[in-house]
Structure 1
Amino acid sequence: MINLSALPLPLLGAALAASLLLSQELGYRCGRRMGASDETTGAGHLLSAALALLGLLIAFTFSMASDRYEARRALVLAEANALSTTYLRIQALDDPFRGQLSQGVIAYGQARQDFFAAGEDNQKLAAASAETDALQARLWGDLVPALRAAPSATINPALLETTNELFDLAASRQAALEAHVPDAILRSLVVYALVAAAMLGYGMASAGRRHMVASLALFVLVSLAVTLILDLDRPRAGSVTISQAPFARTLEGLKTLEAARLRAPR
């Protein structure tokens, strides 16, 4: 079974447009051979219904892809905020815990940025993912002694909460990256578009004209819509990607704060 989400987008768009044209031609020839006519087949009504249903299916699939895109974008900001909040709350601790945890959070943020900058490079993704896991364990290992050193400190519950949230958001973003429009829905959309194109050709046979220019324009638009759906559904590749700018700005700001902290007299 062909995995539509793995095909290059330009190739898929061109192949779909060509397939729609071929399907229309087959429908046209079938209609001519069967002697279709407006008076006997009511092809216009059937065609209108088929195209309306195709439009609804495209809208439904686009909505699914768009919702996933928005969820991924919101998680970028959420993780950036959690990283910043964790770092700032760490500043309420005493040394040496403050220094260890501050540097650990900066390193963790850099590992997260490297993970999302890796694109579709599996080797870089694996390395960044392993670094994320290692830094989570290191941060937790440094945090527990810091909390135990001052068990009555009012900052402890808040710091524990935001650190847990930071780790949870990493898992949430990974899950969001893996959440795609099901291939079964994408394949159904393509099959339905091909059937609608065949019905269009059959309807044109009843009128005795192909209307190739108008048909080509329609098929190009349908192909672009399907390609855009797949583009939205590919967060690491394509032309519509999730901007990591909020996270990058936050990390740079924390690095500046950490540099100032290290320069400050003690």
Structure 2
Amino acid sequence: MVNFPLLVLLVSFLGLALAAWIGDGLRKRFKPLKEESRDDSGVVLGGTLTLLGLVIGFSFAMAISRYDLRKDYEKTEANAIAAEDMRADLLVPDDAGKVHGLLKQYLDQRVLFYTTRNADRLTQISADTAHIQDELWSAIRSAASRLPPQLQGLLISGMTDIVLSQRSTEAAWLNRIPTSAWVMLLATSLGCNVLIGYRARRTDWIVFLVMPVAVSISLFLISDLDSPRGGAIRVVPHNLISLSQSLHGK
């Protein structure tokens, strides 16, 4: 569900509103709290709300850091491909032309990786990316054998940078907020709303809905940042697209 932020927004709002309604129902079913009991429950509610704020803050910080990491790796990929494209000019014209062509195909696949949302299409993109990587390695290994050792190492290290940056990118996209953190967020949120409904002196839905609205919007933003493909806040491959336009314009 966390891959669909709008669904998180809707479900969390309804669940938290239901929790407040349950707390209000418990208050009506049993005798209202006495003032001394209300003070005790107020301490519990205050502590729970503080814990909820901390968990939301930490979760938001984790989502932001993961989003920034995905942006950084996109830039790293673009730099690695651009560097290897320039190093390919050291090869003889025929070999250089082959490597340039394969790098353009590889770059197109990397742009597709960032922009597509379809799972089946992603599987095909991964297969095509691996195939082009193999062709690039074969072409560079063959062409570099005719170069001095220093230049061989330069070309091979550039290909290594391309592969490592691609794998780092995919690892970053799989690095999500742990399920246990989501469970804690939901459990604490539900508990707070039950207590708010139970401690109320009367039924006031304007007050009851303040917490569900605030928390559900927070969960929506966290889910949106933490979902690389399902959310509206996505990493747009500006560097890769700009590089693709530059290489195809040659």
TM superposition score category, shorter chain reference:
over 0.9
Contact 2:22-2:197 at 8 Å conserved across structures: yes
1:67 paired with 2:68, answer: no
1:163 paired with 2:159, answer: yes
The 1-side partners of 2:38 and 2:134 are apart by 69
Contact 2:88-2:96 at 8 Å conserved across structures: yes
Deviation at 1:234, TM superposition (A): 1.0
Give RMSD over aligned pairs: 1.6
The 1-side partners of 2:190 and 2:164 are apart by 43
The 2-side partners of 1:123 and 1:14 are apart by 27
Deviation at 1:231, TM superposition (A): 0.8
Contact 1:235-1:241 at 8 Å conserved across structures: yes
Q: Of 251, 254, 258, which residue of structure 1 is paired with 2:244?
A: 251
1:101 paired with 2:94, answer: no
Q: Of 142, 146, 151, which residue of structure 1 is paired with 2:148?
A: 151
The sequence identity of aligned pairs, in percent, is: 25
Deviation at 1:28, TM superposition (A): 2.5
Matched residue, 2:174: 178
Q: Of 27, 41, 52, which residue of structure 2 is paired with 1:54?
A: 52
- Say how many residue pairs are matched: 248
The 2-side partners of 1:213 and 1:184 are apart by 31
Matched residue, 2:234: 241
Deviation at 1:51, TM superposition (A): 0.8
Matched residue, 2:132: 135
1:45 paired with 2:43, answer: yes
Deviation at 1:41, TM superposition (A): 3.6
Matched residue, 1:260: none
Give the SS at the match of 2:203.
coil
Matched residue, 2:77: 79
The 2-side partners of 1:193 and 1:63 are apart by 18
Deviations 1:39-60 (A, max 9, x none): 2341222211111111011111
Deviation at 1:140, TM superposition (A): 0.4
The 2-side partners of 1:19 and 1:37 are apart by 28
The 2-side partners of 1:69 and 1:38 are apart by 47
Greater displacement, 8-17 / 94-103: 8-17
The 2-side partners of 1:18 and 1:124 are apart by 34
Give the SS at the match of 1:210.
coil
Deviation at 1:34, TM superposition (A): 3.9
1:22 paired with 2:18, answer: yes
Structure 1 stretches of 5 or more lacking a match? 258-266
Matched residue, 1:196: 192
Contact 1:5-1:183 at 8 Å conserved across structures: no
Give the SS at the match of 2:161.
helix
The 2-side partners of 1:20 and 1:122 are apart by 32
Deviation at 1:246, TM superposition (A): 1.4
| TM-aligned CA distance change 1:123 to 1:25, over 3 Å | closer
Deviations 1:17-74 (A, max 9, x none): 1221221122223234143123234122221111111101111111111111110011
The 2-side partners of 1:125 and 1:12 are apart by 24
The 2-side partners of 1:171 and 1:39 are apart by 59
Contact 1:47-1:203 at 8 Å conserved across structures: no
The 2-side partners of 1:166 and 1:58 are apart by 36
